[in-house]
Amino acid sequence: MKYIIYTILMFCCFGAFAQETGNVLIKNATVITVTKGTLENADVLITNGKIAKIGKGISAGSDTKTIDATGQFVMPGIIDAHSHIALDAVNEATDPSTAHVWVGDALDPFDVSIYRALAGGVTTSHAMHGSANAIGGQCETIKHRYGVMDPNELRMVGAPRTIKFALGENPMRVHGEGRGIVPRTRMGVEQVFRRSFSEAKEYMEEWDDYNSGKTKVPPVYDLKKETVADILKGDIIIHCHSYRADEILMLMNVCKDFGITKLCFQHVNEGFKVAPELAAFGAGASVFADWWAYKFEVYYSTAFNAAILLRNGVVASINSDSGELIRHLYHEAAKTQRYGGLTDEEALSLITINPAKQLGIDDRVGSLEVGKEGDVAIFSKHPLSVYAIPQYTIVDGVVRFDINNDPADMRIDINPEDEVSTFFENTKHHDHDNCMRDAMELFTEK
């Protein structure tokens, strides 16, 4: 009965609005499909928000917007598997496990970072809870439909549920050092997982006993245990903040003990050390291109990380974890050609089809294929070129970014007389860890 009620509520919340879709014909471009090769002087037709045709000499009716992309390059919309844009808050830093909270309760459709992401060809991102908790809140996969008024219209309805876990220093500092409770050490972080999974397993058994008639009184409903139980059932994908190889192995071992198979590691700076183990488990790895050494537990990594993971059979992606770097993911992917010698298709897979696989949405986005959603980025040069500039970004067949025709005031947000510090200046101190937003006041000296 509770599942029927849940379905009805989902329909009421997300089915009440008609999502805007569009019709677009892109002509005469170099079309990079990512999964099915590259076509020269080809066209892409999007009808009612879906890719209808890819080929040469395609025509469309007068109700279809036509873009002449002669000399330009068309690729799937870029996907960021780790972002914090469009969120009112990131961390519910009050308990080692906050599985009952959900960032989707606080989406901000007016966040200008969405538009800036579109300006970098990014059409989808994974809006994540932070890393203050060993088990954080549930995340939200969003489409970059900048200009909508209703937060619900940002949601990628039907995308699999995901949840944020965290290893290492962040949950240790927040709870062990900050409050004197478990976890204070890495072994304490492991026990938060094992205890939560064990409690959820018992909770599931209690409901099974009640539903089978073995017991007459239902268990007390507990949303936190309910959420963790859904992880055990395979209904939620774990995305885990991680750096060190020993901890990565630890969580895979814990998941094996509880039969959990849906797991993607985030950051994964030492993933190259355990690439075969990640591949054998089937875990994804969403990494930085070349960020490390901004705090002690991230002291050791390599710019070859993504290439090593990919060549070992790991579904690897490159993410931003930044409202600024999200605009430059195609540059980040290009670095893997310098550090790892990846092909064009391999490098672009790191920001398209592979993050789509990690989010469980690769049947809908991540490559240019007939039937998939009309999320497309058009570049002036090859997207892996340092000279490439995004010209259009299209979401569901609707042009959401047009470099030549968007109003100028959509870009004006920074006072040129203000001092702007760089990412590297910010991250030399722990209080600028992007995953620790809304939690650093716990460590601010009074």
Query: Which pLDDT does position 426 carry in this prediction?
Result: 46
Indicate the pLDDT class of residue 1, thresholds 50, 70 and 90.
very low
Which amino acid, one-letter code, is at 6? Y
**Radius of gyration of the chain measured on its C-alpha atoms:** 22
Taking alpha carbons only, the member of 290, 294, 282 closest to residue 307 is 290
Q: What is the pLDDT of residues 58-89, one digit of tens each?
A: 999 999 999 999 999 999 999 999 999 999 88
Chain centroid to Cα 143, Å, comes to 11
Report the DSSP beta bridge partners of residue 401. 393
Shared domain for 294 and 376, answered yes or no, is no
Indicate the pLDDT class of residue 7, thresholds 50, 70 and 90.
very low
Beta strands 78-83 and 122-127 are parallel
Shared domain for 325 and 265, answered yes or no, is yes
> Residues 32, 75: contact at Cβ < 8 Å?
yes
Q: What is the pLDDT of residues 295-315, one digit of tens each?
A: 999 999 999 999 999 999 999
Which amino acid, one-letter code, is at 418? D
Shared domain for 273 and 183, answered yes or no, is yes
- Cα separation values, 45 from 18, 74, 121, 372, Å: 22, 12, 18, 11
Query: Which pLDDT does position 414 carry in this prediction?
Result: 55
Q: What DSSP letter does each residue of 244-284 carry, written as one string? A: -HHHHHHHHHHHHHTT---EEEEE-TTGGGGHHHHHHHT-E
Indicate the pLDDT class of residue 423, thresholds 50, 70 and 90.
very low
Q: What is the pLDDT of residues 185-219, one digit of tens each?
A: 999 999 999 999 999 999 999 999 999 999 999 99
> Is residue 304 one of the residues assigned to a domain?
yes
Query: Which pLDDT does position 330 carry in this prediction?
Result: 98
Shared domain for 163 and 181, answered yes or no, is yes
Indicate the pLDDT class of residue 441, thresholds 50, 70 and 90.
low
Shared domain for 320 and 197, answered yes or no, is yes
Rounded to two decimals, the pTM is 0.92
Shared domain for 23 and 92, answered yes or no, is no
Shared domain for 193 and 234, answered yes or no, is yes
Handedness of CA 291, 296, 299, 305 (dihedral sign): negative
- The DSSP element (H or E) to which 127 belongs, if any, is strand 122-127
Percent of the chain with pLDDT over 90: 86
- What is the per-residue burial (b if ≥16 Cβ within 10 Å, else e) of 27-40? bbbbbbbbbeebbe
Indicate the pLDDT class of residue 439, thresholds 50, 70 and 90.
confident
Report the DSSP beta bridge partners of residue 38. 32
Indicate the pLDDT class of residue 430, thresholds 50, 70 and 90.
very low
* Domain ranges, residue 22: 1-77+367-403
Q: How far apart are CA 240 and CA 285, in angstroms?
A: 9
Residue 67 sits in a domain whose CATH number is 2.30.40.10
Q: How far apart are CA 220 and CA 403, in angstroms?
A: 54
> Is residue 47 one of the residues assigned to a domain?
yes
The helix/strand/coil state of 182 is: coil
Shared domain for 46 and 152, answered yes or no, is no
The helix/strand/coil state of 305 is: helix
The helix/strand/coil state of 49 is: coil
Structural domains in the chain (count): 2
Specify burial of residue 4 (Cβ count, 10 A radius: 0-12, 13-18, 19+).
Answer: exposed
Strand runs (DSSP E) across 275-434, as ranges? 284-287, 316-318, 376-379, 390-395, 398-402
Q: How far apart are CA 251 and CA 234, in angstroms?
A: 16
Shared domain for 54 and 93, answered yes or no, is no
Query: Which pLDDT does position 11 carry in this prediction?
Result: 44
